[in-house]
Chain A
Amino acid sequence: MIMEVLIASSAEEICELLGQDNSRQLLAGGTDFMVEVNYRHRSPSSVIAIDRVPELRNWHHDGDSVVIGSCVTYREIERGPLATLVPALAQAARTVGSPQIRNAGTIGGNIGTASPAGDMIPVLSALGAEVSLRSSEGKREISLDDLIVGVKQTSLGQGEFIESVRVPVLESPQEFLKVGSRSAMVISVTSLALITYPKTQSVGIGLGAVNPRPTRARQAEEFIKDFLNWESMQVDPSGLDHFKELVSEASRPIDDHRSIAAYRRHSIGVLAQRALTRIFSERSPSV
């Protein structure tokens, strides 16, 4: 049973409280945590509520990137200025749970929960997000891909917590697509983010719900480069089939009660092709 609830008012305080007792559990939006509490899958004795800490609640522009505090909610990402700065993140945020969940759930919670089906994960991965961690020992930065090490497992150290996440502001097209059986409020069966990087004339592809940890479809990213025309924003369709295959091959999906591996492998390829051709129109080389 939860015997103690502590309300932190600064990041410094979180460090202190965890420093005293690192078994204390952090509570942000509560949308995962409280389900586990309600169904008695988790019963911490002491909880630190971190959702009123100003530096975690805010985001700011920092040069070419934006730094999003870990307690910024899906709702704040879905709408308002952040949606313009990081559109794929906003598209993904809109698919998380219900309006009620999006008002409470946070980006830091999505990262920390480290579910393969977390909707922020493929976008952050494709954006090459850097996560800022903090503890009484100090601060460190780690890429999202390195932070999440397995199904619901992170490399967070004792007493360490997620302070913010940094993603680039690109001002070029981004797409997030997610397959679920329902039209809204559904856990992802597969999802995919495709980010364009005009400067390097490349794309970043993050895969969701098909691997235990964040996964980029690196081979597909590399392969498709030769088929993209960045001036006309066109793609040579002769490369699409193999591109799709490479994305599917980057997935290691499982059978579970939500879907089957074969469908996940298939659909992730389809999502990749659709994301790409929404941004790059198909044009045959012969034309």
Chain B
Amino acid sequence: MTATETYKVGARSGVGVSSQRPDAVPKATGEFSFSSDLSSHNMLWGKTLRSPHPSARIRNIDYSEALAISGVHAILTASDVPGKNLFGLEHPDQPVLADDIVRYAGEPIALVAAEHPEIAADAISRIHVDFEVLNPLVDAESAVTADPIHPEGNVIRHLVIDYGDPTSSGDVTVEGTYEVGMQDQAFMGTESGMAVPSPDGSVDLYISTQWLHSDQNQIIEALNLPEDMVRLTLAGVGGAFGGREDVSMHVHLCMLALHTGRPVKMIYDRNESFLGHVHRHPAKIWYRHHANKDGLLVKVEGKIILDGGAYASTTSAVLANACCFSTGPYKVDNAQIEGWGVRTNNPPCGAMRGFGNVQTCFAIEAQMDKIASALDIDPVELRLKNALEPGDQIITGQKITGAAPVKEVISSLADHPMPEPAINDLLARPGGTGRTTDQKHVKRGVGFAVSIKNLMFAEGFDDSSEALCEVNDGSVAIHTACVEVGQGFVTLVHQIAEEVLGVSDITVIPADTSIGSAGSTSASRQTWMSGGAVLKACEAVVVNLIEQIAEEEGVKYENLDGALVSEDGTKTIPIAEALRGRSFQEKVVHRHAPTFPLDEKGQGNAHVSFAFAAHRAVVDVDQELGLVRVVEIATSQDVGRILNPIQAVGQIEGGITQGLGLAVLEELVMKNGVIQNANFTDYLLPTALDTPPIEIASLIEEPEPGAPFGAKGIGEPPTISSTPAVVAAIRDATGLDLRRVPVRPEDIALE
């Protein structure tokens, strides 16, 4: 299977085929309503005043001039927060509106509601804040011992993994310090939503998010309202990638709507979007790898520092991932890992696709290449030698009980044919339209990298998803709170329901908080969790159907491949047919097998399941100018089972492109705590011309025990090892060390 072969979306549904997204047509015509497309009669526009300083004390806020502007209906500050002025995804440590102190540049201070966005912006510019500017703490390493910038201290989490024999050593050691810059999710649809107040003092919030119920829990605390007074409905989401897991404008919108008694809409512009959501943690990582002469890993020592920015967000969980998988998809008997997630006056960092594994994978894979070079072993062979196998332990002492086709992933990719030389066109070379590079300046390089990613939440979190299956005379409606961010969950709902019930008339009820939590659309978990819940709900309908028929006819039926077969085998009724004229309502909650916290030595069965991927990048480099053109990225991935091939390809191609972005383009450039490029002019996403054809060498379908249909999450692995593969290819072409991503032209040309 290669991505260049033509896939076509088919009309047939059911699991395993490329059925069409139910929202494809409205998205193609422009009719699909995103959260920024909401409007309401009598609506006001909200806007946020943010701190220009990364660290300052607020002496006074004077908004009298702003409030006097005609068309301005409300200006709210910290003192207007009705409940607790704190929120946070893992625990509340971040003010809804800054009170006395601002801890990052971009922190919200005041809110405006006005008749027109221009008026709101004008009002914002006339709110006068008297700041006492303080010296920001911007260096993550010194944050560990620096004066605390927050009552909870600067170390959000310190994690030690002490595994095996610390005195062990290998025949060779390789050592290196690596850095990862601050990447951004940069979803296309910026934060937006609308809050609509009710006369009873309750509020409806229509919002793009990743996790409705987590938002709701945080909002009710801040508004001091009971759960049923704050209702959330998902509005169309323009991508997420982790950046919508945290609350952004949610509480603000509700406050403005409740205060003015009018619907309030807010849209962040691109600049504000960069300030308004968390980013990928910048990391500094030191490693010493020990191997014996034949290349087997003996011990890994590592120190990992993640810059969490001003507030905790998911830093604690990101650090756990970084540390738990800090030896990669390789078997090693001894590991000494120490990690810190720290607080600084940089922008808050949290979830982004790959979640902690991205940072360490970049460093691990560089180390693996160094070992290969030190021992003169082929890098692919070295990885095969050390690859984890089913039954092996990872460094937390957890045994891999599910599928772990690491060797198959590596070998199938290594066997994939290499691309042709680039075509003879300036546009196809490094530099692109800039016409910088002639063929004689180009050197080609190849790099290989492998990754591991845990699927679903970890460390004892009670992870669940609820689904309702409603059958009415042959038509089926499915309700969950699972957020569709573009990944195609809505398609899977159709496929799963049709697979079980044989019915094609299926409606996906909009996700909202009137049903139980589905958990977050993150951690590669929704196919397993909400897909699993939908599967169980549909299956529960069939069980009830069989019972009903048994009562009516006195005959026992069994479900065989979508048809009910009578005990004596004489009668067969397709389920779809049997459902006609009947009604069912089945609600189920689905959980995965429990996980457990890590102990003081970082040991424990903290994770549910693991997925593996390998990437091979081919690049053309113009070393003198430091310009890189990625020619091809090929991949093999452990997917468990493919439920929708075309959606799987879409996830893989998109994920790899984000990995490519981190390798050579994407970084929020910081200067003393302030982002220098919070716009699309200078935060450079890969364009179509920067993105190479993606070759899928192999998707390994080895069903995962316990997973619905055996399917593993596939969203994150493409983003993890694609970055180190690209950098390895640049090293291969240039002979340079390259310890930092993104690799900038000057990192190559001036070395």
Contacts and interface: CB of A to CB of B under 8 A. Distances in A.
Interface in B669-695: 669, 671, 676-677, 681-682, 684, 686-687, 689-690
A3 to B, nearest CB: 12
Contacts of B438: 274, 278
A187 interface: yes
Contacts of B684: 181-182, 186
Given A183-B432, A187-B681, A270-B625, A40 B125 contact: yes
Contact of A179 (B118, B625, B669): B625
A133 interface: no
Given A39-B271, A183-B690, A257-B677, A270 B624 contact: yes
Interface residues of A, number: 36
B750 interface: yes
Given A184-B687, A189-B745, A179 B627 contact: yes
A176 B435 CA distance: 7
Given A186-B684, A189-B745, A257-B669, A179 B434 contact: yes
B431 A179 contact: yes
Nearest to A1: B118
Interface string B539-560: 0000000000000000000000
Nearest to A257: B676
Contact of A95 (B271, B433, B671, B687): B433
Contact of B433 (A183, A257, A260): A183
Contacts of A263: 626, 745-746, 749-750
A95 B687 CA distance: 13
A145 B548 CA distance: 89
Contacts of A183: 427, 431-434, 629, 687, 689-690
A267 interface: yes
B121 A182 contact: no
B749 A266 contact: yes
B436 A257 contact: no
Interface in A73-114: 91, 94-95
Max chain B C-beta neighbours (<10 A), residue from A183, A185, A260, A271: A183
**Most B C-beta atoms less than 10 A away, residue of A184, A188, A262:** A184
B749 A178 contact: no
Given A182-B687, A183-B690, A257 B682 contact: yes
B385 interface: no
B269 interface: yes
Contacts of A1: 118, 122
A38 interface: yes
Interface in B436-477: 436, 438, 441
Contacts of A191: 434
A269 to B, nearest CB: 10
Nearest to A262: B750
A260 B746 contact: yes
Name which of A175, A256, A278 has the most chain B CB atoms within 10 A of its CB: A256
Interface string A116-131: 0000000000000000
B411 to A, nearest CB: 33
A94 B746 contact: no
Contact of B745 (A40, A94, A185, A267): A267
Given A263-B626, A270-B625, A184 B269 contact: no
B158 interface: no
Interface centre among A94, A182, A271 (most CB of B within 10 A): A182
Interface in A243-287: 256-260, 262-263, 266-267, 270-271, 274, 278
A22 B147 CA distance: 55
Contacts of A175: 435
B15 interface: no
9 contacts: A40-B125, A177-B431, A177-B436, A179-B627, A182-B687, A256-B676, A266-B749, A267-B625, A270-B624
Interface of A: 1, 38-40, 91, 94-95, 175-189, 191, 256-260, 262-263, 266-267, 270-271, 274, 278
Q: Which 5 A-B pairs have the closest CB atoms?
A: A183-B432, A263-B746, A257-B676, A178-B434, A183-B689
Interface of B: 118, 121-122, 125, 269, 271, 427, 431-436, 438, 441, 624-627, 629, 664-665, 669, 671, 676-677, 681-682, 684, 686-687, 689-690, 744-746, 749-750
